[in-house]
Amino acid sequence: MSPTTGPIVRRTAPAAGPAPADRRPAPDPELGLDDVVRAHLPGLLRYATVLTGDPHQAADVVQEVLLRAHRRWRRIALLERPELYLRRMVTNEHLSWRRRWHVRTVRPSSDETLAACAAVIGDHAQQIAEADDLWRRLDELSPRQRAVLVLRYYEDLDDAEIAEILHTSRATVRSHVSHALAALRAQAHPTSRERP
């Protein structure tokens, strides 16, 4: 019995722990910034545009982030998801309003600007008005609340990914979402508090 048991135990012992299929792929140190930019630049620009409310400022934010990422790319390429780190850099750049070229005040986009960005399918005056109203209400939120809502509902990230990008806890992410949604509801129905 022991001659047969010994090899079985020795064969099964190394199998303890997660199976290779459960492990995350190892970081690719050969991954170039050009490859990541080709794959993720449109998403980064969309994300920055929704955060800032201004496509020109969004392009400036992404350009600044990519310049800084280029200097540190050997270290960033070792991360499991470099594109998630770039998104965090975009978020941090947006939240740091004290930079010399961020002194400009961000104002809600005009109907004409939103119409120029929208796909030309027909007359969508109501949709444009609703989008403009949403931009105005988002602009009244704190930058962190706005960032959390954009990451959750526009980028479709979960609490853990948002927490990683904002460098905070999942509980703080949920708190920001809750307060931001409450503020948006209060803006949408300002007289609801006065009703009995």
Q: Per the domain annotation, does 55 fall within a domain?
A: yes
pLDDT tens, 84-143? 889 999 988 888 854 545 455 556 667 777 677 766 565 567 777 777 777 888 888 888
Token pair listed for 117: 């960005």
Q: Per the domain annotation, does 35 fall within a domain?
A: yes
pTM over 0.85: no
Of the candidates 72, 70, 67, 65, the one whose C-alpha atom is nearest the C-alpha of residue 43 is 65
Q: Per the domain annotation, does 151 fall within a domain?
A: no
Q: Per the domain annotation, does 22 fall within a domain?
A: no
Q: Per the domain annotation, does 50 fall within a domain?
A: yes
Rounded to whole angstroms, the Cα distance separating 37 from 149 reads 24
Q: Per the domain annotation, does 129 fall within a domain?
A: no
Of the candidates 52, 56, 51, 65, the one whose C-alpha atom is nearest the C-alpha of residue 93 is 65
Q: Per the domain annotation, does 31 fall within a domain?
A: yes
Q: Look up the domain containing 96 and give its range.
A: 27-106
Q: What percent of the chain has pLDDT over 90?
A: 16
Q: Between 147 and 105, whose confidence is greater?
A: 147
Rounded to whole angstroms, the Cα distance separating 115 from 132 reads 10
Q: Per the domain annotation, does 174 fall within a domain?
A: no
188 with 137: CB under 8 angstroms?
yes
Per-residue pLDDT averaged across 181-185, rounded? 88
Q: Between 10 and 134, whose confidence is greater?
A: 134
The residue behind tokens 């079985």 is 8
The whole-number pLDDT of residue 119 equals: 61
Domain count, the chain: 1
